[in-house]
Structures are given as structure tokens and as C-alpha cells.
Amino acid sequence: MLEVKNLTKIYDNKVLALDNVSFQVEDGQFMAVIGLSGSGKSTLLRCINRLVEPTRGQVIWDGVDITAAPQEDLRLIRRRIGMIFQQFNLVTRASVLTNVLSGRLGYTNPLWSLINYFPKEDVEKAMANLERVGIADKAHSRADELSGGQQQRVGIARALMQDPQILLADEPVASLDPVLAHSIMRILKKLNQEDGISVICSLHFLDLVQQYADRAIALNEGRPVFDGLPREIDDQRFKEIYGRDAERIG
Amino acid sequence: MSQPRNRRSIWRSLAIFFAALVILVVYAYGLQVTKVDLEKPKEARRQAQLTNIIRGLARPRLFEYEEKRLEIDAPLMMPCNDQVVLPPVDTSGRYIELTPNCVALGGRVTVNGYNFEPGETVFLYFLPRAASIHEQVELRLADAPIEVNPQGQFTYVAEMRKDRPSDEPQAIRAVVKMRSGLPHPSDTLKDTWDKIVETVFLALIATTLGTALAIPISFLGARNLMSNVVSPFGSIMTGLLLAPVGGVVGFRLFSWLKGLGGGLGQRAWPGLGALMVSIAVVWALILLLSRQTRGRFAALRQGGLGLLAALLAVFALGLLATLGIRLGLGLQEVLGPFAFLGNLIFVIADLLAIILPLLGGLMGLFLFVSLGSSLSGRFLRSTRPTTAKAFTAIAATLAGAVLAALLLGGIAWLYEVENPVRFVAVPAAAVGAIMLVISLLVDVQRPVPTGMIVYNITRTILNALRSIEPLIMVVAFAVWVGIGPFAGVMALALHTIAGLGKLYSEQVENILEGPIEAVTATGANRLQTIVYAVIPQIVPPYIAFTIYRWDINVRMSTIIGFGGGGGIGFLVQQNLNLLKYRDASVQMIAIAIVVATLDYASAKVRERIV
Ligand SMILES: Nc1ncnc2c1ncn2[C@@H]1O[C@H](COP(=O)(O)OP(=O)(O)OP(=O)(O)O)[C@@H](O)[C@H]1O
Ligand SMILES: [Mg+2]
């Protein structure tokens, strides 16, 4: 179980990006994070694996305080938390396989990994994961030769290399067309259901939230304004989350 | 309403007027200081000199002819003596006739030449024949060479000397210098070729060395990599305290191991055997290390094995260096024209022998600092605040005192201070005390931005180095390692580090944050993140900048010789000083060709890569 307690983030430029956010995520849950642009969704996800250092508050995972973990322990925690990104964040000049293998860096012997050597098991695992997301044939292409949807699959395969228990997905489909968006979301849902991986996923489109998420929380200027089932978001709630003038689309 | 605006415009005009005045004064003074004197270039003497230089440069001494010297003699009596009958002149080929053929001391003789080639130039000499002179000497008669007219003739009225009387026949000689055979490359051209090769390789080695060192330094000078490196005050102090210790231990240890290996390497076959064995053992250890291990003492075991492998590797390298030196020297003797290959092996092995202890010092320093600061960081986090405070205080005091003592010791040595102990001890104690006070004031748990401190120091040093031109640096290096290309290599390499270090780190600062985030999120450590997320992004710009720097270095290496740094600049300077403009011209052409060619080539390569 992941527990977020009174999490606050104030950036160096005094922007209050998260304001006293608390919630719990049960193991195996698919939780959506929604909110306007700039409401703090990315900040929240990054505070969980401390890509962004929270200013106050705690993130506790199975009794371990992630926010207090020293650097070396943090690495061990991070390797069980996969992450995928809106911009995919692949190393575009490297091959797909290398990108996927880099998900294994937390586990491999650091010395070997420096010369790009991975054990055979890891390479096999990478191929299996590519197979799982449906692009095994692209293993030896350069990452920037792939389409957006394919790149996001590589991102997922990379996260899977970590044997994650939690998957953080920061607007994973925001730069994809609707068809691709659904295919990526289906992969995430499948991982959630088959492997029991908890998914925390920020999303912009409510229909995606209602179709795939078990639960949604909403942020507005860093403050939590909703926590409940996706179908509970009616027009009234919608206006609370997105502001009075917002119109629903999709 | 109009009043203030009016006043403002008056002020404005005044300000503009004064600005103009200041600018005028600045330029007037500038002209005076730079001694601009438009009369100088108009002086006839200077214009003649300029013509000379331009003519010289316009006729580069690229090729030379073999010269044949034709001597045509005509007998002469001075003073006249009826007893002696002069032999007749052979008129079959070129010949000269003297009228009269006997003359008083200091008299005039008309020299007529016949059957010469039109347009030839003739030099006239007087050959005195006296008992006191054993060898034949030629005394110049005409000041300038004489030109033969279209009929193949010339006439010259020579004024004879007063100091060479003789009873025997003397002679007047006409000398024609004739080119024979095909033109062949001049000696200047050969020297130029040698030096231009030296120049290009000077640039190559300097660029290679500079690049190799600039890459790691550029990471230290990149804000985005360094900004999130933080550690508590106490662990920084522990690291600083341990830094000199690690350096000395590493240096000593590596020197000792190198010596051990070197001793074995003195004899070829046992040395080679030992080398094989140690390489095999190191390999086995690495294989053992690469196994995943779990358990309580896994880290300790891994560390121990790693250390053993590293020490053995150093031993093997020391052995290799000694064997390499011997091999290189041996090959130099047997390879003949390919002796430079032997020299290459020798230089590399020698370099290895020199840098091993230095490398040891650096690695020891790095290891002690990182181990010390991470262990003490752990300790500080887990212990009680009072203990942490006390630990920090002690570490800070000691670190301050030790570092100050080392620094002052260096200064005392440099300036040959009278009483070094007092000079060092008192201020060191003072610095220790200051650090004690600081450590008591700071919050010991609060992280200090170590990364930014390192970043700022790196950038400052790079900027300072970059502001010194290589042509000046080379003077210092020439004093240290002697005049020659080696000094040039060192100066250029140092400047390359400074220049590329900055350019590279700016490239690192420009890379996309996304992949770094993604790789960090997988639980990779800092080094892995650099290898997997940073390096792939910086390879293309790094290559582009290296090529750009290579261009600069080729240009620089052509003039580094002016400062004693070897290469073609040395020849250019020498020839200019000796007023040998025709030779300097050859070298300038060579420089132009090399620079233009490499410019073009590197532009092509850059197009391909980026
Ligand atoms: N590195 C940073 N430094 C300073 N301020 C930041 C930084 N990152 C984000 N912010 C600010 O924090 C607030 C929350 O940003 P965040 O990226 O978390 O929002 P978001 O909900 O993910 O928005 P989007 O939907 O556009 O991705 C914004 O006001 C943003 O300007
Ligand atoms: Mg975002």
C-alpha cells in the first residue's frame, strides 16, 4: 500500500505546486490523477519516486518512508517503481533494445552496465517484454525511427524491466491519437489486472478515466478537490475540478 | 508640460556632446598609443623593403636547379712585362678579350665578351697569381652581374687593383652559372614538408589529449548534472580531510606496485609469463565479481575482490609499461625506416609508467573522498544530533587545519619561507579554529550544495585558463620541457581542455532532461545515468566541437613555433628573421594548403555527423 501524507511541494521560484495532498493507493489499484494543466499532477507523480524532492510531507510504501530514504536506499526503492512519460523520454539515438535494457540498470552489476554488457537473462527478458507490448520486431531499430505509439510501448517495456509493483504514468497518451491512446491504455490496464501492478496515471480525458481507472483523484492548483470513483464525476463535480467555465469534451 | 521636456532635451544634447567628446579623446589617445604614422609607409627605404618582401614571397623557393659553373679566363699582365708572352685565347666557344692585355697597377682594362648566350648574366673576377697566395682566389671585379646583349656580347671597363703586382701572367675570369638538368624540390621544400608533418601531428596529439581530459571535466562543469549533488556539511569535511590521505596512499601504493611489476619486467620471458598470469587472474576476478551476490557480506566481498583485481591490474600495467619500454627501444633499433613505430610503443609505455602513480593518487583521492563522505553521511543521519554535531565539528576542524597546512606548506616551499614551521602552523591552527566555529554554527543535517561548489570552481579554472593564449602558455612549457613540439603539445592540450571543457559542458546543459529522468527513475546510479542518458545525447555535439577544436589547433600549431613550441612556425620565424623571404614563402604556402584542406575536410565530416 502506498500512503501519501500531507505532501507539499514548493518549487524554488516559490510556486506552490502541491498543497497538503494526502491519499492512499491499495495494491493493484488503477488510480487516475486529473486536473487542469499546471495543477500539479506531474509534480505529484515525481514526488512519489523523488524525481522531485517534496518540501514537506511523507510518502510511505509498505511501511518504508520513501521521503526519508538515503540515496542508496532510494535507488532500491525506485527500481520497483516503473515510470512512463508523456514525451516517452527514450534515448532517441540508442536502439530500442538498449532503451529497454536501461530499465534493468537498478539490478545489474554497475561495472558491467557501464560497458553496455547485460546478462543473457536480461536480454531475454527485454525481448519478452517487447513481445508483450507488441514490437519485438523493432528491437534493433533506433528509438527515433519509431512512431509515437511505438515509442510509448518501448517506454512501457523499459518500465516492465524493473519488475515494478507500482507504475507511475504521467499523461502517457497525451501526445497520441485516440486509437493509439486506447491501445496504450489497454496495455496498462492489462498489466494492472494480470500482474497486479498498481497504476497511478495522470490523464486529461475523462472518458479514458472512466473507461480504465478504478478510482480518480483531482487536483486544482495543488489542492486535492476530488477523491472517488470515476463515474461519480458528474457535471457538477466536473465544474468543481476544472473551473466554472469549463466545457466537457469527449 | 513643455518646460520639463525642453529641459530634458537640453540635458540630452549635453550628454551626447560630452559622449562625443569622450569618444574623440579616446580615439586620439588610441592613435597616439598605437603610433599610427601614415608617413612611415611612404618612405622610399621602407617601400623598397616592402617590395623586397613581396618579391620574395611571390617567388617561393619550391624547386631548385643543379647549377653548372662555366669559367672563361683571359691572361693579363700587371704590371706590363715585355719578357712574358701571353698564350693566345681560344675563340671556339665563349671567350673574352682584354684590351690592353697588360696594364699598370690601378689601370683600366676593357673586357669584351663574345659568343655568349644572349640574356646570360656574367660575373667578372680577377685572379691574382702571387707567390704568397697558394690557392687560386677570385677577387670580384664588377659590383653587379653583367648582362649579355642580344648579339651574345658584352663590354665592361674594369678598374684594376693597386695591390696585386706579379711577374707571372694573371687572369681575368668570366663566370657563367648555368642551370642544368631537371628542377628538383628545394631543401626548403623538404624541410617544410618535415615540419608541416610535425605541425599536423602536434595538433592531432594536442587535440586528442585535450579532448580526453576535457570530457570528464565537462561533466563537473555542467550545472544540470551538478546542481542536485548535495551532502551534509560533516560528510564534505570528512571527504576533504581524507582527500590528501587518499591521494598519498594511492600514489604510494601504485608506485610500489608499478615498481614490483617493473622489477619483473626487466627480464623479458619471466616478465611476459607473469603478465599473462596476472591478466588471467584479473579476468577471473572480474568474472567472479560480475556474479550477482546477495547476503550480508556481499558488498564487503565485492569490494574486497574489486580492490584485489584493481591492485593486480596495476601490477600488470607496471609490468606492461616496463616490457613496452624495452620492446619499443628494441624495435627502434631493428625496424630501420619504421623505427617510429618502436618509438610509439616506447612513448606509450613510458607515458603509462609516468601516469600510473598519478592515476593512483587520483583514484585514491576519489575513493577516499567518496567512501568517507558516504559513510560519514550515513553515520550522521543515523546518529544522535549531539554526536553528529561533535563529529562534524571534529571533522571540520581537522579538515580546515590539514588543508590549510598543505596549502601553506606549498607556498612556503615556493617562496622559500624562512621559518616554515611557524609560517604553516599558526595560520593552519587559525583556519582550524574558524572551521570549528563555522561547524558549530551550521545545521549539521542540512545538505550543502557540493555539486554547485565543484561546478563553480571548475568553471572559474576553465575561464582563467581559456583567457591565456596558447602562444603564451608555450613559453612556460618550453622552459619546463625544452623548446620543441612537446612544449607545443602541452600548451595546446591545456588550452584545448579549457576551451572544449566549457563548450562541452554547455552541451551537457542543453541536453533533454527527459531521458535522464527516465533512467534515474529506474533506480540507476549517477554514473549509469550519465552513461545511458547523457552520453548518447552529447556524442554528436561533442564530435562537432572536437572537429572545430581540431581546426583551431591546426591553425594554432602553425604559429606555436613562434613561442618555441615546434612545428612549422619555428621555420617561418627563423626565415623571416634571416630575411629569407623566398623560403618563408614556401612555408606560408604549406600552411595555407594544410589549413584549407583540413578546413574543408572537417566541414565535410561535420556535415556527415551532425
Ligand atoms: N521545475 C519547476 N520549477 C518551478 N516551477 C515548476 C517546476 N515544475 C513545475 N512547476 C510549476 O508547478 C506547477 C505544477 O506543475 P506540474 O507540471 O506539476 O503541473 P501538471 O498538472 O503536470 O501540468 P500539465 O498538465 O501541463 O503537465 C505549475 O505552476 C508549474 O509552473
Ligand atoms: Mg504534467
- Please list every protein residue whose CB sits less than 6 Å from any atom of ligand 1: A 11, 13, 15, 17, 35, 37-43
Ligand 2: centre distance to CA B530 (Å): 24
The answer to whether the CB atoms of A114 and B539 lie below 8 A apart is no
| pLDDT of A182 above 90 | yes
In angstroms, the CA A232 to CA A238 distance is 10
Mean pLDDT score, A96-124: 88
Minimal CA separation from A83 to chain B, in Å: 7
Query: What are A25-54's pLDDT values in tens digits?
Result: 999 999 999 999 999 999 999 999 999 999
Q: Which residue has the higher pLDDT, B594 or B5?
A: B594
Which of the four pLDDT bands, split at 50, 70 and 90, describes residue A97?
Answer: very high
Average pLDDT, chain A: 91
Query: What are B465-481's pLDDT values in tens digits?
Result: 999 989 899 999 998 88
Residues of chain B with pLDDT > 70, as a percent, come to 97
In angstroms, the CA B192 to CA B556 distance is 17
Strands B139-140 and B63-76 come out as unpaired
Mutate to test the interface with A, among B507, B522, B542 (most CBs of A within 10 A): B522
Return the pLDDT at A190.
94
Which of the four pLDDT bands, split at 50, 70 and 90, describes residue B446?
Answer: confident
Here the ipTM equals 0.94
The answer to whether the CB atoms of A75 and B523 lie below 8 A apart is yes
Query: What are B276-289's pLDDT values in tens digits?
Result: 998 999 888 888 87
CATH number of B188-230+461-610: 1.10.3720.10
Q: Does A79 touch chain B (CB under 8 A)?
A: yes
Which of the four pLDDT bands, split at 50, 70 and 90, describes residue B296?
Answer: low
- Per the listing, cell 568474472 goes with B287
- Per the listing, cell 483523484 goes with A217
B-chain residue closest to A111, CA distance: B290
Return the pLDDT at B1.
47
Mean pLDDT score, B143-158: 88
Strands A56-61 and A81-85 come out as unpaired
Alpha helix (H) residue ranges in B34-60: 44-58
| pLDDT of B252 above 50 | yes
Return the pLDDT at B293.
60
In angstroms, the CA B552 to CA B499 distance is 10
Return the pLDDT at B135.
67
Strands A198-202 and A166-170 come out as parallel
Q: What is the CA radius of gyration of chain B?
A: 39
CA of B434: how far to CAs of B397, B426, B427, B428, in Å?
A: 8, 12, 10, 10
Q: List chain A residues with CB under 8 Å of B521.
A: 49, 51, 78, 81-83, 168
Residues of chain A with pLDDT > 90, as a percent, come to 73
In angstroms, the CA A92 to CA B60 distance is 53
- Lowest model confidence (mean pLDDT) among B284-298, B339-353, B488-502, B558-572: B284-298
pTM confidence score? 0.70
In angstroms, the CA B600 to CA B580 distance is 31
The answer to whether the CB atoms of B518 and A75 lie below 8 A apart is no
- Name the closest ligand to CA A38: 1
Return the pLDDT at A84.
94
Report residue B327 CA to chain centroid gap: 28
Q: Which of A213-217, B39-43, B270-274, B524-528 has the highest mean pLDDT?
A: A213-217
Average pLDDT, chain B: 86
Query: What are B383-416's pLDDT values in tens digits?
Result: 888 888 888 889 889 999 998 988 888 888 888 8
In angstroms, the CA B408 to CA B420 distance is 9
Query: What are B519-539's pLDDT values in tens digits?
Result: 999 999 888 998 999 888 988
| pLDDT of A249 above 70 | no
Ligand 1 atom nearest A40 alpha carbon: 18
- Which residues share a beta bridge with A24? A3
Q: List chain A residues with CB under 8 Å of B514.
A: 85, 87-89
CATH number of B65-185: 2.60.40
Going by alpha carbons, the residue nearest to atom 4 of ligand 1 is A11
Closest CA to A100 of A184, A187, A159, A140: A159
Angle at B556 between CA B555 and CA B560, to 5 degrees: 130
Which of the four pLDDT bands, split at 50, 70 and 90, describes residue A218?
Answer: very high
The answer to whether the CB atoms of B289 and A109 lie below 8 A apart is yes
| pLDDT of A160 above 50 | yes
Alpha helix (H) residue ranges in chain A: 41-48, 71-78, 96-101, 110-114, 120-133, 148-160, 178-194, 206-212, 235-242
Residue of B517, B531, B536 with shortest CB distance to A51: B517
Burial category of B34 from C-beta neighbours within 10 Å (exposed 0-12, middle 13-18, buried 19 and up): exposed
